[in-house]
Chain A
Amino acid sequence: MDHTKYLIVGSSHAGISALDAIRLQDKEGSITLVTQESCLPYSPTILPYVLSGQARPEKIFLRDQQSLDDLSVVFKPGTKVMALDARERQVTLQSGEKIEYEKLLLATGAAPKRPPVQGLEAVPHHVLRTLEDALTLRSKIRKERTAVVLGAGLIGLHAAENLAKGGMKVVVVEALSQVLPGYFDEEASQMIFRAFSDNGVKILLNEKASRVKGTDEETTLSLASGGSLSAGLLVVATGVQPRVEILKGSGVEVDQGILVDERMRTNVSGIWAAGDVAQARGFFESSKILNATLPNAVEQGRIAGMDMVDDPALKEYPGAVGMNTYKFFGHRAFSVGMIRAEAGCEVEKVVVPESFRYQRLVFKEDQLVGASGINSDLDPGIMYQLVRRKAYMGDVRTRFCASPLDVSRVMMTSIWR
């Protein structure tokens, strides 16, 4: 049986960050990196760009074999873990082989969630989570003329935009009353909605598919409000869910995702989890939450890796802050922190419809707790730091709101260390 000191399951951002953190402290301990993907490590975030053709599939990899060899990492692509025996400290692979570990990081990520639509399992449809998904969907662009996308989250909208740019007629179906509810308030969402309408993409809000039937050639959706939609292509992008199947009976505590503490430790000694699969404390919430974003996976992966080697420089996870950037039809948007202005919050908003500009700052007591913008010049990274450092805004708030770009940059220059 293979034995390894560190076993990392999953080779995207969380796994790679952990790998680097481990090697910074432990130059010799054996590391095995396994992934069920059959290729080198890559980021799911790149997939919309593979779909659009902006990223060439052979150039998307985060690491090449040489750099993994340089770090003395045993990399095993195409390796699916089927079961975990936490007591014996070993995993069973699909091939039947077993790997014995001393320390295990579960960075297995998330899988597309299927909405409860009657008939969906039987109907051919696309998702966008793996390189294979992206390449398959891309191959359809020139062949099909119409598409329906379920879900107006980041993946759904990216897919819709790219399909539309490929010349297809696209309809997006979203169950909620706005697009991107996780990142923008209603007004910003309406602007994004408008950009899509202006570019010929129809978005149906407050709408659900109740039933779906179809063949390879054509799919027909019955809508909850009555009526139906037909398209050559069906894309399902209604969110993701942590991949936790292998943990059944392992003793590792799972809620929505794998429950971890501030050092990314699970309840079982010797097992850590990080990235989209982990459920960790929120920055604003007292409960543990999922946060399937790239920056979060990087940070959690690094913390897990540091804890696995007892790195004295480790700082505990401060909690997940929702954040992302989003480019659409030539516009750029970002969102950091709190979106809904809860009780006690104050909002400062600037909207310039003519130049399609939007900027929103959310304060709570003396702190900035959220910032978002469309075509705004603000530095998303500085906004994130202000939120995360709980920078005191008491005295500066008035002039910060008057010229946030300048004042935030001066604050950064003065107080960052």
Chain B
Amino acid sequence: MGNSYKTIAFYQDKCDGCGDCVPACSMHHTGTTDPAHSRIKVAKDAEENSFGIALCRQCGQPQCVTNCPSGALSKDVSTGVVKWDKDKCVNCQLCTLACPYGGITCNALTDQVMKCNFCDGDPACVKACPRGALEVKQVASIFNAWGDLEDLVVPGLSACLGCNSEMLLRHTLRRIGPNVVVATPPGCIAGVGSVGFNAKTGLKTPVFHPLLTNTAAMLSGARRYYKRIGRDVTMLAMAGDGGTADVGFQSLSGAAERGEQMIYICVDNEGYMNTGVQRSSTTPYGAWTSTTPVGSVLRGKTRDAKPLPLLMVMHNCEYVATASTAFMEDYYEKLGKAIEAAKKGMAYIHVFSPCPTGWRFPTGKLIEVARKAVETNMIPLWEFELKEGRIRFTHPVDNPIPVQAYLSLIGKYKHLDEKQIAFIQEQTKRKIGVLKNFAREDEREQVSNAG
């Protein structure tokens, strides 16, 4: 499996064109501030008042390398940096024709090409940027850490095309590992074949199929049994929103209150998808389902979703988090914390899981839907640790995009009128306000002072 490496990310909306990165780069490489030596260039489109940068992206499959006739350019497989060897370079400049980013340019003073060498991992331009427009970023770093581990789900499940839940199941088990007992109550996770067909299970780990009503209760018993025989085995529930927020809620609530040791993951696709797209208590306001139809009077669901993650915080769970498959690193980190928390009590993760089949959007848009839900603040990503006593946003969105950018991607919202959209926008703002109250540090201090 390939590696993921660090690169320098550029946030166009944060750049004000100050150009501080340019002399910082020149200084690092040549000891002078002459911009001619800078490997990073700032460009300004005066009319649009927007800025761009020309800078090497340290591509995974760099075309400058394949276009080089002298072998002077190469990708360092240990650091990921695209290296330039002055001795081998014949200065033909074909690399400048290959690079789509203006990342390798001709230095007019030396009459040679030059490119970013990532300053040995600590780029001067990033440190010089006063507005955070440049950032050292590692994309898909989870693959370096977890990519070689075994996929504990068999190939060839019967999930719908483009199913988010299948992806989630594979990632979750890869991270948690084989020392686990999995409970998948009726719902999509069981339906895709995790509990199997023809007496063969779909997982390479122990898995069972509880009733919708008793998932958390059965796992409580299983955990207690393993503890009794002296084995530390992780208990994992992968349940849908119906099995969690509706039918399974009383046993989950009871287990949480008793502090039962398990990881309970709610795969929230906002309805009963495998039985024909009926509403659940986490179906959001305005959504079409087969039981909240759209006609001349009804315009989708009239009530909003139950705030289940917050309810679990109120149960004093060891760990509660929300997650999204568009932010996989974030999810992996939360799983890591959940594994630890489940040794002490309940860890609850609520994963937002868009459903191409039931929500009516093309499978290719899955990750975009998941990402836009977060970027609109409709699905904020946060976590709660009991010892911290407050919510912490793991991907704060300070300037959310309008909810319409998310809603318009999805068929189940296509009937919404302006009034409904305005209502959803308003509710999103209200809900994020409530969460922010739970996230305040000063409140916690007051509480502890009082205590």
CB nearest neighbor in B for A335: B97
Asked whether, in the complex, the Cβ of B101 is within 8 Å of the Cβ of A381, the reply is yes
Asked whether, in the complex, the Cβ of B54 is within 8 Å of the Cβ of A17, the reply is no
Q: B interface, how many residues as a size bin?
A: 35 or more
Asked whether, in the complex, the Cβ of B100 is within 8 Å of the Cβ of A382, the reply is yes
Instruction: Answer whether residue B48 sits at the interface, using C-beta atoms and an 8 A cutoff.
Output: yes
Interface segment among B66-74, B149-157, B216-224: the answer is: B66-74
Instruction: Answer whether residue A411 sits at the interface, using C-beta atoms and an 8 A cutoff.
Output: yes
| Complex interface: chain B residues within 8 A of A382 (CB) | 54, 100-102
| Complex interface: chain A residues within 8 A of B199 (CB) | none
Choose from B12, B90, B100 the contact partner of A414 (Cβ within 8 Å). Answer: B12
| Complex interface: chain B residues within 8 A of A380 (CB) | 93, 96-97
Question: A325-B92, A327-B91 in contact; A414/B97 too (CB < 8 A)?
Answer: no
| Complex interface: chain A residues within 8 A of B109 (CB) | none
Asked whether, in the complex, the Cβ of A336 is within 8 Å of the Cβ of B43, the reply is no
Instruction: Answer whether residue B290 sits at the interface, using C-beta atoms and an 8 A cutoff.
Output: no
Interface string of B83-112 (1 = CB under 8 A from A): 000011011111011111110011010010
Asked whether, in the complex, the Cβ of B43 is within 8 Å of the Cβ of A410, the reply is yes
A17 to B70, CA, bound (A): 15
CB nearest neighbor in A for B66: A298
Interface string of A404-416 (1 = CB under 8 A from B): 0111111111101
Instruction: Answer whether residue B63 sits at the interface, using C-beta atoms and an 8 A cutoff.
Output: yes
Asked whether, in the complex, the Cβ of B52 is within 8 Å of the Cβ of A49, the reply is no
A298 to B97, CA, bound (A): 13
A410 to B41, CA, bound (A): 11
Interface residues of A in 301-346 (CB under 8 A from B): 302, 323-325, 327, 330, 332, 334, 336
Asked whether, in the complex, the Cβ of B69 is within 8 Å of the Cβ of A294, the reply is yes
A191 to B260, CA, bound (A): 82
Instruction: Answer whether residue B291 sits at the interface, using C-beta atoms and an 8 A cutoff.
Output: no
Asked whether, in the complex, the Cβ of B101 is within 8 Å of the Cβ of A412, the reply is yes
Question: A295-B98, A414-B52 in contact; A406/B45 too (CB < 8 A)?
Answer: yes
Instruction: Answer whether residue B137 sits at the interface, using C-beta atoms and an 8 A cutoff.
Output: no
Question: A46-B70, A298-B67, A381-B102 in contact; A325/B45 too (CB < 8 A)?
Answer: no
A380 to B64, CA, bound (A): 12
Give the distance to chain B from A228, nearest Cβ to Cβ, in Å.
35
Asked whether, in the complex, the Cβ of A46 is within 8 Å of the Cβ of B43, the reply is no
| Complex interface: chain B residues within 8 A of A54 (CB) | 90-91
Instruction: Answer whether residue B10 sits at the interface, using C-beta atoms and an 8 A cutoff.
Output: yes
Give the distance to chain A from B150, nearest Cβ to Cβ, in Å.
18
| Complex interface: chain A residues within 8 A of B144 (CB) | none
Instruction: Answer whether residue B14 sits at the interface, using C-beta atoms and an 8 A cutoff.
Output: no
| Complex interface: chain B residues within 8 A of A403 (CB) | 46
| Complex interface: chain A residues within 8 A of B98 (CB) | 295, 298, 381
| Complex interface: chain B residues within 8 A of A59 (CB) | 70-71, 87-88
Interface residues of A in 7-63 (CB under 8 A from B): 13, 17, 20, 42-46, 49, 54-55, 59-62
A211 to B47, CA, bound (A): 61
Asked whether, in the complex, the Cβ of B67 is within 8 Å of the Cβ of A410, the reply is no
Asked whether, in the complex, the Cβ of B70 is within 8 Å of the Cβ of A49, the reply is yes
Asked whether, in the complex, the Cβ of A407 is within 8 Å of the Cβ of B97, the reply is no
Give the distance to chain B from A261, nearest Cβ to Cβ, in Å.
22
CB nearest neighbor in A for B104: A381
Asked whether, in the complex, the Cβ of B92 is within 8 Å of the Cβ of A384, the reply is no
A42 to B98, CA, bound (A): 18
CB nearest neighbor in A for B12: A413
A327 to B112, CA, bound (A): 11
Interface residues of B in 1-48 (CB under 8 A from A): 10, 12, 41, 43-48
Choose from B69, B92, B97, B108 the contact partner of A381 (Cβ within 8 Å). Answer: B97
CB nearest neighbor in B for A380: B97
Instruction: Answer whether residue B420 sits at the interface, using C-beta atoms and an 8 A cutoff.
Output: no
Interface residues of A in 49-94 (CB under 8 A from B): 49, 54-55, 59-62
Asked whether, in the complex, the Cβ of A327 is within 8 Å of the Cβ of B93, the reply is yes
Asked whether, in the complex, the Cβ of A410 is within 8 Å of the Cβ of B50, the reply is yes
Interface residues of A in 174-193 (CB under 8 A from B): none
Choose from A20, A298, A327 the contact partner of B92 (Cβ within 8 Å). Answer: A327
| Complex interface: chain B residues within 8 A of A45 (CB) | 69, 92, 94
For the A-B complex with A298-B98, A407-B43 known, give 7 more contacts whose Cβ atoms are closer than 8 Å.
A13-B66, A59-B87, A62-B69, A334-B96, A336-B97, A379-B105, A380-B93
**Can you list 24 contacts pairing A with B, beta carbon distance less than 8 Å?**
A20-B66, A45-B69, A46-B70, A55-B88, A298-B63, A298-B66, A298-B67, A325-B92, A325-B93, A325-B97, A334-B96, A336-B97, A379-B54, A380-B93, A381-B101, A384-B97, A384-B100, A406-B45, A407-B45, A409-B102, A410-B50, A412-B101, A413-B10, A416-B100
A-B pairs, 9 with minimum CB distance? A413-B52, A409-B43, A43-B69, A410-B52, A45-B69, A379-B102, A49-B90, A325-B93, A410-B45
Q: Could you tell me which B residues sit within 8 Å of A by CB distance? A: 10, 12, 41, 43-48, 50-54, 63, 66-67, 69-71, 87-88, 90-94, 96-102, 105-106, 108, 111
